[in-house]
Amino acid sequence: MPNVFEKSSPIIISVANQKGGVGKTTTTINLAAALAERGANTLLIDLDPQGNASTGLGFPPTERKKTTYDILIEETPLLEAIVATSVAGLSICPSSADLSSADIELMANEKRSFLLHDSLRDPQISQLGLDFILIDCPPSLSLLTVNALVASHAVLVPLQAEFFALEGLSQLMLTIREVRRSANPALRIEGVVLTMVDGRNRLSQQVESDARKTLGELVFATTIPRNVRLSEAPSYAQSVLDYDGNSKGAEAYRALAQEVLARHSGVLCNRRTD
């Protein structure tokens, strides 16, 4: 069944890249916080067994009562796992290290690729008035990532400004194509955001030039710089917007949020005028 935008349903975006260390979780946390800052009611779903998004928003493992593991394996209603964060307008469904065995545990389940999709379409979720749901995917093309892609309207891809960056996209694109063919024909690319960009570095400049030449308008105008504050913020269990709202990292994620909001302005405006 294709995913379509409904006036009462949130816009669901997976943040995915099978390569680790590209700023995927950093992007999920800070884009979610920036969307919330702009007034968008936002839910972050942590689907990464490492749980860094959960920790980065103030939820260490000992404080996670219900998690995405319970949703997928125990079929616990998503509403029971959602908790508010310290950021106004931002809630989270935290992760669990138990997710690392999810691929094996789900193998016998006929609905294994649609579990998150079905959970997100629970009528109780539509009553929360969410504008966006961001899914932090694991750094692999596992069954967890497939669940996220099947459940989503779009995929946002963080791309580190490094040598061979574009070559690493090929496997993810093949997975997206397969999900479109088999389970979610409406899945599209939200965009590619360049991360860890050093404007003084010729390699960063060349990667950005190549990405824009190859991918065109899929590449967001905003780039995310290498920034000490971005690296420090998770250790204080804060988004960079709360940790240092005047930093270059915070400014970059505000700009990225504005681009995302602009791409969905028609849907959001229609929803709020109905």
**Residue ranges making up the domain that contains 151:** 11-273
Handedness of CA 227, 230, 233, 234 (dihedral sign): negative
Per-state percent for the chain, helix, strand, coil, to nearest 5:
45, 15, 35
Question: Tell me, what's the pLDDT at 238?
Answer: 97
pLDDT (tens digit per residue) in 90-108: 999 999 999 999 989 988 8
Residue 178 counted as domain residue: yes
- In eight-state DSSP terms, residue 93 is E
> What is the amino acid identity at position 55?
T
Residue 273 has pLDDT above 70, yes or no: no
Residue 5 counted as domain residue: no
The residue that leads in pLDDT, 24 or 126, is 24
Question: Tell me, what's the pLDDT at 227?
Answer: 93
The first and second tokens of residue 79, run together, are 């509403």
Question: Over the chain, what is the mean pLDDT?
Answer: 91
Q: pTM for the whole thing?
A: 0.93
Residue 2 counted as domain residue: no
Residue 65 counted as domain residue: yes
Residue 38 counted as domain residue: yes
**134 within 8 A of 53, measured Cβ to Cβ:** no
Strand arrangement of the beta sheet that strand 90-93 belongs to = 83-84, 90-93, 42-46, 132-136, 11-15, 154-160, 188-197, 219-225
pLDDT mean over 101-124: 91
pLDDT (tens digit per residue) in 34-74: 999 999 999 999 999 999 999 999 999 999 999 999 999 99
Question: Tell me, what's the pLDDT at 19?
Answer: 87
Residue 113 counted as domain residue: yes
Question: Tell me, what's the pLDDT at 8?
Answer: 60
Question: Tell me, what's the pLDDT at 213?
Answer: 92
Domains: count for the chain: 1
**Cβ partners under 8 Å of residue 129, min gap 6:** 41
Domain holding 214: CATH number?
A: 3.40.50.300
pLDDT (tens digit per residue) in 122-174: 988 988 999 999 999 999 889 999 999 999 999 999 999 887 777 778 888 89
Both ends of the chain: CA-CA distance in Å?
A: 26
Question: Tell me, what's the pLDDT at 274?
Answer: 52
Residue 90 counted as domain residue: yes
pLDDT (tens digit per residue) in 219-265: 999 999 999 999 999 999 999 999 999 999 999 999 999 999 999 98
Residue 94 counted as domain residue: yes
Question: Tell me, what's the pLDDT at 126?
Answer: 85
Q: Are strands 188-197 and 154-160 parallel, antiparallel or unpaired?
A: parallel
